[in-house]
Amino acid sequence: MTLYGPDTSNNNFRSSSDAIAFVSQLPGQGFSWIEQKVSEGSYYRDPYWPVIAQWCQQNHFPCIGYHYVTTDAPNAQAQTWLANNGGPHAMLDFEANSGDINNFWAVVNAFNNVGVTISLSYLPHWYWQQIGSPDLSQVPGLIASNYVGGTGYASNLYPGNDNQNYWFAYGGAAPQILQFTDAALIGNLAVDCNAFQGTLDQLITLLQGGTMTAPDPTTATLNQILAIVQDIQTQLRGPHLGGWPQLGHNAAGQNLTMVDAVAALRADVDALKATSTA
């Protein structure tokens, strides 16, 4: 089973209402979690983390915050995370200007020292090569990035279980999550999106810094059924059950659902038949 989750930051939103509108549509469109920026270095706190984290908590939607690592003092970076209420589990965004692998571990230790567990580590292959291809076998929850071309719905863009070209191991570690696009369409935004190959129970365990174990089969089956039902409902009635704009509008200006559109099309066909036989 493949689960999808976007990766967002202050760059994606203009206001708190934008952030809430974005995250609130994720469950209905088949997404299973979100990664949202919390902080960067010793100097920046993302203003949209608190509102997204609160929405996710209130709606029982899995999320994890991430910290963009710089070469600032590791302890100061941990304090920046705490100052924005990043929570007890964190994802490190370790890429351009993040320093070498020694700096990575220094930041991990600094977060651990203040009671924050590093659950995930975005450390892409290109940056791993740039810093000398170090050993990654102990890195928690490796996230790789290999982008497909084009833009569209995440499930249409996802390349599948292509271990040779997308999910390959490096540095002695196999990716737990794959960021496979920076142009997944969600609402009116094109955003980074990730894939996880497993069940929702396994994903939640990973986000909480645990070792993935086989999930309860009943729960896993119910989660899979729920995801399928949500997808069918969205396809029939549109995002947020508000119809599909591309299918046209009724007399009140509302988007048509799939059933509405078929009914309208049938009416148009009947009218054409009546005209041709008149």
- Residues 102, 75 contacting (CB under 8 angstroms): no
Determine the residue type at 223. Answer: N
The whole-angstrom separation of Cα 144 and Cα 180 is 8
SS3 of residue 108 by DSSP:
helix
The whole-angstrom separation of Cα 179 and Cα 197 is 12
- Residues 75, 104 contacting (CB under 8 angstroms): no
SS3 of residue 53 by DSSP:
helix
- pLDDT per 10-residue tile (average), the chain, 278 residues: 96 96 95 98 98 96 98 98 98 97 98 97 97 96 95 92 87 96 95 96 91 43 55 73 82 85 83 78
Could you tell me the domains of the chain? 2-216 (3.20.20.80), 242-277 (no CATH)
Task: State pLDDT tens for residues 157-215.
Answer: 999 877 788 999 999 999 999 999 999 999 999 999 999 999 999 999 999 986 443 33
Angle between helices 258-277 and 217-237 (to 10 degrees): 40
pTM: 0.76
Q: Which helix (H) or strand (E) holds 144?
A: strand 142-145
| Phi, psi angles (nearest 5°) of residue 86 | -65, -25
